Every structure is written in C-alpha cells, then in structure tokens.
Amino acid sequence: MLAARALIGWTLLVDGVGGPIVEAEAYRHDDPASHSFRGPTARNAAMYGPAGTLYVYRSYGIHWCMNIVCGPEGVADAVLVRSLEPAVGVERMRERRGREPLTTGPGNVGQALAAGPQLNGHVAELLPPERRRRVVQTTRIGLTQAVERPWRFLDPDSPFVSRPISSAPRGRRRSPHP
C-alpha cells in the first residue's frame, strides 16, 4: 500500500489522455475488500500480472474502474485510481463525459479515459511527478469490508479529489462574506 502513496502525482495516460493521480486506494491480496482476496477468477486475472499492469473491472454493472497492479507478479496487490487532475486531452475527456467533474471518482476516471475491457491486462503508461505534493492518508470509500483500514491516499491541495478528507461532505463551500 506504500505504492498507493507513491503513485500520487504520477501522470496516468491512456491513449494520450490523462493527468496526475491525486487520489488512490490500496487493495492488497489479503484484504477482504480486494477482488483478489478469494483467489484468481476470470475477472481479476489481470491483478496477478506484474507491477504496472492495468486491471479494469466493471463496477455496479455500469462503471469501468482502473487499477494499477503494484505487487510482484502472482501476488495481486493493486491500486484503485480514484481521481486525476485533467491535464492532457481535456477536450476528449469532455466529449466522453459530457459534464463535470471530468476525472473525480473512479467511475468518472474510467469514462474520461475510455477505460474498458480492451485495456484490461495492458501495461499502464505512467510519467513521473512534475512537482512535489502533500499526501494525506484516510479511510477508503464505498466499502463494506475492512472499512477501517486507512488505505486511501490523496493530495489535500488538489480540488479534483472526490472528498477532501475522510468524512467531509462533498460540494461547494459556503460563501465567506454575508
């Protein structure tokens, strides 16, 4: 899960579209919340590839979510990409999404980058960070298993994270002046 922290700031590109990762969650093979917890299946096979392999899965029958394998081959540790900063190919993201936000939340990232089964098992294209970022650690989102494990990492200075801190509500802030 240290890989999840290390990935913050790295630019993820798919077919020339993407941006710096600002929010990610770690899923280890021995974690009840991980798709690899119960061993290999047809769906999670890509998780058993070498580090840098993409694992793309269908979420709730609707969304495509992207993971980057971060453990040794055969181990099936991965990092869920939850949010990016829209940086490269923003116009194409807009066409695909049709609304804001473009790349906040794993389902939205998948749509903006046109993730799908054609990407599953491919090698992720990653570029190193261009600047230093703060990273904070919180609990993960949307889980029913192992909810307490603080394996979500994010850049608290980025406006493109799905939630600034663990349990703060989403949405715009109140205007500062009366």
Partner DNA sequence: AGTATGATTGCCT
Partner DNA sequence: GGCAATCATACTG
Contacts to DNA by CB under 7 A: 25, 27, 33-36, 38, 41-43, 47, 55, 57-63, 65, 67, 78, 80, 97, 99, 101, 104-109, 140-145, 162, 169, 171-172, 174
Nearer to DNA, 99 or 132 (CB): 99
The least distance separating DNA from the CB of residue 154, rounded to whole angstroms, comes to 14
Nearer to DNA, 25 or 85 (CB): 25
The least distance separating DNA from the CB of residue 105, rounded to whole angstroms, comes to 2
The least distance separating DNA from the CB of residue 132, rounded to whole angstroms, comes to 26
Nearer to DNA, 20 or 110 (CB): 110
The residue among 22, 21, 14 whose CA lies nearest residue 125 is 14
> With the CA atoms of 32, 61, 81 and 42 taken in that order, what torsion angle do they form, in degrees rounded to the nearest 10?
60
* Amino acid at residue number 18: G
* Amino acid at residue number 93: M
CA 21-25-31 angle, to 5 degrees, is 155
Report CA-CA distances (Å) from 34 to 77, 81, 99. Answer: 8, 14, 30
